[in-house]
Every structure is written in C-alpha cells, then in structure tokens.
Amino acid sequence: MVAPDWDIPLLVLRESVCAWLREDLGYGDRTTLAVVSPGATGTAAIVMRQPGVLCGMPVIEAVFAELDTRLRVTTICREGELVPEGTVVGQIVGPLRGILAGERLALNLLQRLSGIATLTRRFVDAVAGTGVMILDTRKTTPGLRLLEKYAVRIGGGRNHRFGLFDGVLIKDNHVRVAGSVREAVQRVRNVIPHTMLVEVEVTTLEELDEALAAGADWILLDNMDVETMREAVRRVAGRAKLEASGGVTLERVRAIAETGVDAISVGALTHSAPALDISLEVVAVDGR
C-alpha cells in the first residue's frame, strides 16, 4: 500500500526505521523473547481510540517489514480518511514476536502523524472557501521532518520549505547583517537560481514597503494584527504574495484568512499537535 501523497524515498524511510528500532530494541525485547515462543503467530488490530485523520500506515508497514518479512500489514481505512472512534484501521498477521517488538514504535509514529494530520485538517476546514493555503514551518521534530511534513499534506495543508537549502527566507537577522532589505535581497539574487523565489519577513508596514521596493516575491507578515494585515494586502495590491505568520490559532485563523493574504503558516501543526490515541491489540493467537 502506498499513500496517495507518498513521496518519501523508501530507502530513506528504511534507514530511519532501522535507527528507531535499534534505539528501542537494543539487544532484543527481553519480555517478548521470554513470554512468546518462536513459533507463535497471531493477529493484531490497530484501533482508533478517538476520532481523527488516519496518517502513517505506510510507515507502519515499513516498521513490521523490517522486523520480520513474514508479517503482513493490511490497511482497512484510507490514508487521510477521517475515522470515527473505535474503528479498526488495520491489522497485522504473522509471528507474534515481531508484532510485539514493533508495537511501540509503530504506535508512536502512527499517533504522532495522525495527530498532525488531524490538527492540520481542522485549520484547513477553518479557512474553507477563502482560497488561503495553510502552510507548515521548520518547527519540526529533529529526524522526523519528512514524515511530519507528509502528515501536513495528508491533512490538507501545504509544505513551506523543507530546510534552509530549498527556499529563501530573509529574516530580521539577515537584514541586520546585510544593512538593509534591499541589500539582502540583492545578495541573494546574485547567487540563487533564477527559478527560486525570494521571501522577506517584515513586522511593520514600513518594512513591507521596503520589501516591495526590493522586489520580494513573497512577503511574510510576522505577528501583525488583522487590521495591519488588511492594510498590507491593500498596499501590495497583488505585486507580491503575502504569508501571515505568528500566533495563529484556530480561533483567529479565519479572520486572518479573510484579510486577503495568500497563505498562513502555522508552527503549531508540527510542534504542538497532540498525538492521537491509537492502540494495537492482539485479537487472535494461533500458537503459544
């Protein structure tokens, strides 16, 4: 099974899974090795204990495939589906030693990614009809960025840059070092490919005017109130794309979207999304 938006190289995923399994298993699962006989097989169900957007089943497959190639993961609900509480979303069949050894890692990943996808869906639904994109940020868990940004896409959001290498965002410290917004933009333009866009962060309308004059493609309105953002949209008048950021909550995201900005970036999607409650339960034992 491959998710509809899956674009993470399987080799990269496998390397990560191996590292995570080494961290948890070490020299072996002492409890399972003592309790479960080598030939015991069975079936485990993955159950949603609260409603939410399912995300991460391709990762679950990778975890159990690495533990034992005899394990078979069946996905019952679609990746990205809004699933009711109590739903069995998948099952694992095969050697019980492998199922129990991978249980915690599999659930940690599935709960984390489903939590991000669920929160993202709530933000996307909150701005429905405005045409505004909900973006993530680089405020991700080290080592999990590719997966967490994947979860944002599954939730209906869009990805901002993945790292410092694939996009330009001139922030206040860059401007201080360069001496001005214009100089910072010029220095960037001198070295980046002609196809790469330049974004400038501003906190005031005066800085907005400077960024416009410097030829920024995108302007990030950082921690502005709604009225100031509305004035920024009026001043820009389509000459650049506008992104709102800073202190964005579900309660105020609709008001921000209605100012006319093009995108809203939300760090909370990845740094504050609560893990979804999901369990793994052995439901059949074929041999002890």
Q: How many CB atoms lie within 10 A of CB 48?
A: 21
Q: How far is CA 32 from CA 16, 98, 105, in A?
A: 23, 9, 15
Q: Catalytic residue, from 138, 139, 145, 158: name it.
A: 139
Out of 29, 199, 201, 262, pick the active-site residue.
201
* Strand blocks (E) in the chain: 41-48, 52-53, 72-75, 82-83, 88-95, 133-135, 168-170, 198-202, 218-222, 241-245, 263-265, 278-285
Query: 236-240: long-range contacts at Cβ-Cβ below 8 A with a sequence spacing of 24 or more?
Result: 236/208, 236/212, 239/212, 240/211, 240/212, 240/216
Instruction: Point out which residues pair with 140 in neighbouring strands.
Output: none
Paired strand residues for 53: 82
Which position among 145, 161, 171, 230 bears the catalytic label? 171
User: Which residue is catalytic, options 5, 78, 81, 104?
Assistant: 104
Tell me if residue 242 falls in helix, strand or coil.
Answer: strand
Which residues have C-beta within 8 Å of that of residue 247, sequence separation ≥ 6? 223
Annotation marks residue 201 as catalytic: yes
Task: Name the active-site residue from 148, 222, 243, 262.
Answer: 222
Q: Has 136 been annotated as catalytic?
A: no
Q: Which of 125, 113, 85 has its CA nearest to residue 250?
A: 125
Which residues are marked as active site? 104, 139, 171, 201, 222
